[in-house]
Amino acid sequence: MTSPGVAWPRPAGPLILRPPTSDDLEQVLTWRNTPEVTRWLLRTTVDPEAFRTAWLDSVADPDQHAAVAVLDGVVIGTGSLDVRDGMGQFQGDAWRRAEGLLGYLIDPAHAGNGYATDIAGALLDLAFTDLGLHRVTAGCFADNAASWRVMEKLGMRREQHGVRDSWHAELGWVDGYTYGILAEEWRARR
């Protein structure tokens, strides 16, 4: 099940985004727990079965928009948009479903090609065009320059620099950034 008005698959530059299958997640697991990827994640490793279950369960959740990014038949990334109530809004009318939390991950073998920007841009378009959200946020470790550059390329603004607010499994407490963008800002860029 997906939210009404959300069409899959959807283009993301040269990539195709679509809901994950069990076979897709097997491909993701070949690179998800590698040091190049886990260095920038809150959860450094994931149990393969729990990972599969969470991603496959997300397909049936109308507030979760999880996708794999496919290039020439190979899954090279993932993206997610978690729809939440805006601050002060609680399970009411559809207009209250105001915020989205954006995430993206790239196979290190395909890093540096702009694919994370393509994935995140397609999910922002889904958030603002298909779902009618008011605002989307995303976060990263402050030292993860590749991630915050993606957000800045897409017109997201740095809204918070949290000093030692993020726990990193290898480095301990490190700085984190939160970025945000409003629907009208996204539309103005398009």
Block means of pLDDT (10 residues each) for the chain, length 190 residues? 74 97 95 90 83 92 94 97 71 61 96 98 95 94 96 98 90 94 94
**Residue 2, domain member (yes or no):** no
Tell me the HSE value of 8 on the side-chain side, using a 13 A CA sphere: 16
pTM above 0.75, yes or no: yes
Residues 17 and 122 sit within 8 Å (Cβ to Cβ): yes
Residue 89 lies in a domain: yes
Q: So what's the pLDDT on residue 67?
A: 97
Which pLDDT score, from 0 to 100, does residue 53 have? 93
Among the listed residues 109, 124, 102, the one whose alpha carbon sits nearest the alpha carbon of residue 27: 109
- Write a three-state SS string for the chain: CCCCCCCCCEEECCEEEECCCHHHHHHHHHHHCCHHHHCCCCCCCCCHHHHHHHHHHHHCCCCEEEEEEEECCEEEEEEEEEEECCCCCCCCCHHHCCEEEEEEEECHHHCCCCHHHHHHHHHHHHHHHHCCCCEEEEEEECCCHHHHHHHHHCCCEEEEEEEEEEEECCCEEEEEEEEEEEHHHHHHHC
Give the CATH number, domain containing residue 44: 3.40.630.30
In-domain check, residue 159: yes
Instruction: Tell whether 3 is covered by a domain.
Output: no
The two structure tokens encoding residue 50: 């729990």
Which residues, 6 or more positions from 130, have their beta carbon under 8 angstroms from its beta carbon?
A: 3, 5, 6, 7
Number of domains in the chain: 1
- Whether residue 35 is contained in a domain is answered as yes
Q: What is the pLDDT of residue 97?
A: 54
In a domain, 5, yes or no: no
What's residue 89's pLDDT?
Answer: 54
Containing structural domain, residue 39: 10-189
